[in-house]
Structure 1
Amino acid sequence: MKEITASMAGTVLNVFVNSGDVIRLGQEVIMLESMKMEIPIESSGEGVVKEVKVNVGDFVNEGDTLIVLV
């Protein structure tokens, strides 16, 4: 299993994938908002989304798991 984690603290603005989606390396999967800036989170690997662990509006800290891939 691979995990996609938050690169910085912020609020989840958008989630672009759902469980069961096939994603590729570098695909934008989540948009965070931090200090009034939008920060795209890209996939660090390829696979199928097993679980999306956050929802729009959630606050996350740097290193928090956002998405689990299989």
Structure 2
Amino acid sequence: MAAIKLYSDLNAMVFRITVAEGDRVAAGETLLLLESMKMEIPLAAPAAGRVAAILVRETDLVGEGDALMLFVPD
């Protein structure tokens, strides 16, 4: 199955990345945390699958609609 891009829903800073490329994850598992206005916003896996690529680094500033990861669902 082809990889899908996971995007940021808001302007934020990448606070913490909780997975590595190649990791297998369950549906709903937190992949990374964004921080905006002192709030942490999790990016969750949309389905069970594998993290194909991480396109950002911790402390990167991202805008609404920026691609954060490539994800391959099972």
Structure 2: any 5+ residue segments left out of the alignment?
Answer: none
Identify the residue that residue 33 of structure 1 maps to in structure 2.
35
Identify the residue that residue 20 of structure 1 maps to in structure 2.
22
Identify the residue that residue 49 of structure 1 maps to in structure 2.
51
Return 39-48 or 7-16, whichever deviates more.
39-48
Letter of the structure 2 residue corresponding to residue 6 of structure 1: S
Structure 1: any 5+ residue segments left out of the alignment?
Answer: none
Distance 1:64 1:44 in 2: 17
**TM norm structure 1:** 0.89
- Answer with 1 or 2: which has the greater Rg: 2
Letter of the structure 1 residue corresponding to residue 14 of structure 2: V
Return 12-21 or 41-50, whichever deviates more.
41-50
Letter of the structure 2 residue corresponding to residue 34 of structure 1: S
Return 38-47 or 56-65, whichever deviates more.
38-47
The runs of at least 4 aligned residues of structure 1 exceeding 2 Å deviation read none
Q: Is the 8 A contact 1:7 1:41 kept in 2?
A: no
> How much has 1:57 moved relative to structure 2?
0.4
C-alpha root-mean-square deviation of aligned residues, in Å?
1.1
Give aligned pairs, total.
70
Q: Is the 8 A contact 1:2 1:45 kept in 2?
A: no
